[in-house]
């Protein structure tokens, strides 16, 4: 089964929950990995998820490691571009790792929707 990582900054958690609920039927077909509090929100929305540490405690780095190891096929990271985040170096590292390993990375819900729709088409045909 393919794996999608889902991460959301605090200012984007509500948007992420709405995205998960709107795409529940597609997302339930995948293994989901998330950082700590994002994972808790995903669980409350009714999906199973493997939770890593929170972003500031190394969760972004843990997900980047999984990308390097070939365990993740897509990353959805709803970033708050207007916020100041103490773990920005980890965030940029994760984004760089996705680019290096050619892993689709969505930083907004419009792109996230396109990615999961594309994955659905690729892996069901």
Active-site residues, by number, are: 60
Nearest-angstrom CA–CA distance, 109 and 47: 18
Q: How far is CA 111 from CA 39, 53, 78, 101, 107, in A?
A: 20, 25, 10, 18, 7
Per the listing, tokens 């998960």 go with 20
Task: Give the residue among 29, 15, 123 at the shortest CA–CA distance from 76.
Answer: 15
Q: Which residues contact 39 (CB under 8 A, 6 or more apart)?
A: 33, 49, 50, 51, 52
In sequence order, what are the residues at sequence separation of 6 or more whose Cβ sits closer than 8 angstroms to the Cβ of residue 28? 47
């Amino acid at each position: 089964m393919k794996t999608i990582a889902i991460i959301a900054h605090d200012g984007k958690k509500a948007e992420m929950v709405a995205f998960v609920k709107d795409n529940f039927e597609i997302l339930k077909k995948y293994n989901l990995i998330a950082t700590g509090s994002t994972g808790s929100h995903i669980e409350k929305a009714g999906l199973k998820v493997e939770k890593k540490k929170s972003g500031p405690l190394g969760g972004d780095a843990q997900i980047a490691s999984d990308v390097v190891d070939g365990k993740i096929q897509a990353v959805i990271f709803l970033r708050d571009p207007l916020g100041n985040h103490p773990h920005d170096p980890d965030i940029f590292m994760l984004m760089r790792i996705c680019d290096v390993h050619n892993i689709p990375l969505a930083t907004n819900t419009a792109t996230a929707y396109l990615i999961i729709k594309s994955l659905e088409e690729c892996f069901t045909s």
